[in-house]
Amino acid sequence: MSDRLPGFSTLAVHAGAQPDPTTGARATPIYQTTSFVFNDADHAASLFGLQAFGNIYTRIGNPTNAVLEERVAALEGGTAALAVASGHAAQVVVLQQLLQPGDEFIAARKLYGGSINQFSHAFKSFGWNVVWADSDDIASFERAVTPRTKAIFIESIANPGGSITDIEAISTVARKAGVPLIVDNTLASPYLIRPIDHGADIVVHSLTKFLGGHGNSLGGIIVDAGTFDWSRGGKYPMLSEPRPEYHGIRLQETFGNFAFAIACRVLGLRDLGPALSPFNAFMILTGIETLPLRMQKHCDNAKAVAEFLAGHPAVASVSYAGLASDKYNQLARKYAPKGAGAVFTFSLKGGYDAGVSLVSKLQLFSHLANVGDTRSLVIHPASTTHSQLDDAAKVKSGAGPDVVRLSIGIEDKEDLIADLEQALGA
């Protein structure tokens, strides 16, 4: 065996997986079981007391899910990961470890519409207060820091406009404030951007999108970078203080640089319950094997479609960081040199009505509320994903009334362009 460290494509196929020790099965089996037999009473007690690692019950962990966790941790360059039922479940489990009622977290205003809702309403009812900042104005993050701030949350490539976030600049603010930086890396995937390399302490994903990649399974994941010292300043008692539910152990002291992933599993997933089905873990693992191939094709197609739209007379503007003229092109060259992703927006000269009409005329593009599928997708955010926002907030989050969002699939780009051409022209 050579000492070479495996490359990204090799990890995408192999990380975390081995032939099944009992059957020799080469693909990772679906361990479709709720629970696992203990060797004896001592073994059971040590598993429950966190003195040994092993399988207990699928709400807390499952061998199929464990392969997925190891694979995504390897692709992101983290120390450990925890798979959960959805991207939104990942967000709630992460923040539950960090915030007490009355605490605050700072979030970029440009976010997936569902996250804006989750943060503004559901989290408020837990006493977790979101403070909005603007990723185009780094100082707005600094100004938002208070003694109650416990985390900063951003997207690497932000929904819906595909803008690129300056992760390193915001990481500097987080370090200075002594709080972890959480990066939602859903739209980039680790193939395009690895936020931990740029200072992220925690990475979350909706696996539902590019990682699974085929629009068939929901899932979410939390990756621990292993970089944050949770004992500093007594701000994170879930990690630094003795846990009564585990005989008084302190998670940071016991688990060191993967304590956050452990906390998410044994305090978050165990008690809140959003476990990922092993069947979905299997589907998502299969998807990840082709992530590098798919992602490159997604990006190459997106660039061709964005260039076509930018030259079309019915189009007012295109917001795609992969275009040389785009406001975020410098950041794209720095953070995502292989491609600026495949989700972006454009606006039509004919405004709201033209947007609605375009969506209804497209044939190859599916009109639906998802991104990151092999199929090309279209939606009009102002009337759907971002409809709960008032007009000013819509514009601020990149979802004004004239804006259409595309998620470009892996079909032939000529067919995608022909479909847009007929829908724009007719």
Ligand X SMILES: *Cc1c(COP(=O)(O)O)cnc(C)c1O
Binding segment toward ligand X, per CB under 6 A, in 205-213, 229-237, 248-256, 408-416: 205-213
Residues numbered 346-365 forming contacts with ligand X, rule: CB under 6 A: none
Q: Which is nearer to ligand X, 115 or 345 (CB)?
A: 115
Among 198, 209, 243, 294, contact with ligand X (rule: CB under 6 A): 209
Among 62, 163, 186, 240, contact with ligand X (rule: CB under 6 A): 186
Q: Which of 254, 277, 295 is nearest to 83 (CA)?
A: 277
**Size, binding site for ligand X by CB under 6 A:** 17
Q: Is 206 in the site for ligand X (CB under 6 A)?
A: yes
- State the minimum distance, in angstroms, from the CB of residue 17 to ligand X: 23
Residues numbered 212-271 forming contacts with ligand X, rule: CB under 6 A: 218, 220
Among 86, 97, 217, 280, contact with ligand X (rule: CB under 6 A): 86
Q: Which is nearer to ligand X, 155 or 201 (CB)?
A: 155
**Which contacts of 13-16 are long-range, i.e. CB under 8 A and separated by 24 or more positions?**
13/289, 15/70, 15/71, 15/74, 15/75, 16/66, 16/67, 16/68, 16/69, 16/70, 16/71, 16/73, 16/74
Among 69, 103, 184, 201, contact with ligand X (rule: CB under 6 A): 184
For residue 361, count CB atoms less than 10 angstroms from its CB and return exposed for 0-12, middle for 13-18, buried for 19 or more. middle
CA distance 424 to 314: 7
Q: Which of 60, 99, 94, 71 is nearest to 264 (CA)?
A: 94
Helix or strand holding residue 138 (H, E): helix 138-144
Residues numbered 98-117 forming contacts with ligand X, rule: CB under 6 A: 112, 114-115
Residues numbered 140-159 forming contacts with ligand X, rule: CB under 6 A: 155, 159
Binding segment toward ligand X, per CB under 6 A, in 38-46, 203-211, 276-284, 328-336: 203-211
List all residues 6 or more positions away from 156 whose beta carbon is below 8 Å from its beta carbon. 164, 165, 167, 183, 184, 185, 187, 188, 193, 195, 335
In 349-388, beta strands by DSSP E = 366-367, 377-379
How many angstroms separate the first and last alpha carbons of the chain? 60
Q: Is 386 in the site for ligand X (CB under 6 A)?
A: no
Binding segment toward ligand X, per CB under 6 A, in 121-129, 182-190, 269-277, 387-395: 182-190
- State the minimum distance, in angstroms, from the CB of residue 117 to ligand X: 10
Please give the residue ranges that form the binding site for ligand X (CB under 6 A). 86-88, 112, 114-115, 155, 159, 184, 186-187, 206, 208-209, 218, 220, 371
